[in-house]
Each structure stands twice: as structure tokens, then as C-alpha cells.
Amino acid sequence: MNQDSESRFKLLIVDDVPKNIQVAASILHKNNYLMAFAQDGPTALAQTEANRFDLILLDIMMPHMDGFEVCRLIRKNPANRDIPIIFLTAKNDSASIVKGFELGAMDYLTKPFNGAELQARVKTHLDLHRSRKEIKETNQRLRIEIAERIKAEEELKRSEERYRYLSIHDNLTGLYNTRYLYHALDELIAESERQDSQFSLIFLDIDNFKHVVDTHGHLNGSKALAEVAGTLQSCIAEPAYAVAYGGDEFVIVLPGFDKTQALEKAQEIRSMMLGTVYLPVVENGVRLRASFGVSTYPGDAVDITAILAKADQAMFNVKIKGKNAVGDVSGSIHQLPPAEDA
């Protein structure tokens, strides 16, 4: 056994007869235990509060406070509930033995006790106590490790979810990005072919946005784009979705919409923008207008590149002819605004 004092077992021997303490101590001395002594119950309780013993040898028959009461009070402290307590008693009747076990004793020895038996009982309970303590510490470490692993896995899951979100969303507006758009359009075209259905795109570009940035700065320009994204979101519902296409350009994907419905939706968004004051943080806010182009699959195009290009071209035609209106691939301009509104 390691001779270091921190590794040596600590024993408390409690008996109101000094001779009994001396006998027990002399028998156990050869095992190099650290031993403390008490000749009455209150002293024993004070010792257990001040120290952490590995085992207590406790006499039952003591004046004022017997061993049963001492045992009960020791066990009352949660820190002392696992300490092995061995009763030393001249009483070997069944009732006393049962009472001792009920109060928390783990063993008993009758006086006068045999030295070899005392050593064996003490060693057995110390070994068991150490094993229980090691198991408890191991379980605690395992609980901590499990908790840390669960926390790490949850953080990893959140990171993965955040990464997946960022991989398909625009960081500024929260809308889908072009990576998502191209993949989603592939699937939408395949679904349209299977179900013989159609869908439409709205391509929009904010009019004169460079003037907004030049007047109010890039930071306010970014805020304005985020506010426009909010307008787009308020005008559509799933399965439709909006995409930040780049700069001040946006795409609205409208599954199941024919050209007429898509033109109506573009006009709805245009009207919403006309009625919204953007950048309320600046004096009088900012009025934003946009040009819209609409294309429909499969009527206007046969693949992703073509349907985006057609909507883009329809939007560009609106720009050329006055801005702040809705156009389709035929070149028609819908609800061209008065000159003062352009």
C-alpha cells in the first residue's frame, strides 16, 4: 500500500473505554492506517464533520448517546452516507444486529473481538468502499463525458444546420441564393415534365439603385435590399420562393403559375413596393421602384438557362421603355406608369 498520507485509509475508532480503543488500534496499527479516536458520541460526530473517514469502528454501548444514535446522525449527512460503519458490541442479540443494519451499519463484531477477524473485516470493507468510490467516480466521469459529447454533437449539429442554411441562403437578405435556385429549377423542370404542369419566373431589378447607394451609403443600401426582400416574402406563399440573384436583382419562382397569374403576382409586388417607404432611418425614407420581367415554362423556354434569360430580357425591355413596370417575353409592357412615377 502506498505510504503517502493522502493514499492511506483513514479510520475512526469510537469507544467510551480507552482500553478498547488501544486494543483495536494496536491490532490495526500494522496496516499503516491513519487513525482518529473518540470516547463519546458528540466527539465522534464532530470528527466525522471535520474529516472524511474511509471506515468507522463504532461501539454501541456508550453513555448519553449510544452507537445507534451516533450512526443515525452520521448517516443524516449525505457526505457520510457511504462510509462503512462496523459496530463493536458485546450485544449479539438479533434485535440489536437488525437495528444496527437498519440504521446504516454494514457489519458488526462482538467483543472481545479476534484480532485477525478485525483486520479481515476492516480490510474487506475498505476494499469494498474503495471499489464503490472508484465506480462512483468513474460513473461521474462517464456522465460528464457523455454530457460533453452530447453538447459537442448538438453544437456540431447546429453548425451543420447553419452551414446547410448558409450554403443555400443569401447572408444579407435571408432569401435563397443562386446555388439553391439552379438546383431547385432542375427539380421543378423534371416535376413539370412528369406532371405536365407549368411554372413561371419573375425577374426584377430595382430601378436607379445606384443613386440610393450614392446618396445614403453602402450600409443603407444593404439595409434597403433586406427590406425589399421582406416585401417579396410578404407577397408570396409556399411553394413560391424568392431568390437574391445578385446585387439589386431578385428572382421569384412560382410553381404552378401560368403567365397570366405570374403577371398578376408581379403587379402585386410592384404595387406593394410603390406603397412602401424604405430606409425609415433616413429623413423622409426612400421610395423604391423596380422593373419586372416574366417568363413561363415550358411555353417560353426549354431549360433553366433559357427561362432565366427570357425573364431577364423581359425585365431589360422594361428598363429601356421606362422602368417601374412589368413585361413579358413578347415585349409587351403591362401598366406602364405615368412619367412622374418612373
Which three cell numbers mark 318?
Answer: 422594361
Confidence at residue 342, expressed as pLDDT on a 0 to 100 scale = 39
Confidence at residue 7, expressed as pLDDT on a 0 to 100 scale = 67
Strands 85-89 and 55-59 come out as parallel
Confidence at residue 120, expressed as pLDDT on a 0 to 100 scale = 93
Confidence at residue 159, expressed as pLDDT on a 0 to 100 scale = 85
Mean pLDDT confidence for 284-308:
92
Confidence at residue 6, expressed as pLDDT on a 0 to 100 scale = 53
Confidence at residue 97, expressed as pLDDT on a 0 to 100 scale = 81
Confidence at residue 164, expressed as pLDDT on a 0 to 100 scale = 87
Confidence at residue 94, expressed as pLDDT on a 0 to 100 scale = 79
Percent of the chain with pLDDT over 70: 96
> DSSP letters of 108-157?
EEESSPPHHHHHHHHHHHHHHHHHHHHHHHHHHHHHHHHHHHHHHHHHHH
Q: Read off the pLDDT band of 4 (50, 70, 90).
A: low
pTM of the model: 0.60
Assign a CATH topology to domain 10-139. Answer: Rossmann fold (3.40.50)
Mean pLDDT confidence for 97-114:
86
Confidence check: pLDDT of 87 > 70 = yes
CB neighbourhood size of 45 (10 A): 20
Confidence at residue 284, expressed as pLDDT on a 0 to 100 scale = 86
Nearest CA to 109 out of 10, 28, 37, 1 is that of: 28
Nearest CA to 107 out of 123, 204, 172 is that of: 123
Mean pLDDT confidence for 219-232:
95
Residue bearing the bigger pLDDT, 24 or 337: 24
Delimit the domains of the chain by residue range: 10-139, 178-341
Assign a CATH topology to domain 178-341. Answer: Alpha-Beta Plaits (3.30.70)
- For 73, list phi and psi in degrees, rounded to 5: -70, -35
Distance CA 160, CA 285 (A): 39
Q: Read off the pLDDT band of 177 (50, 70, 90).
A: very high
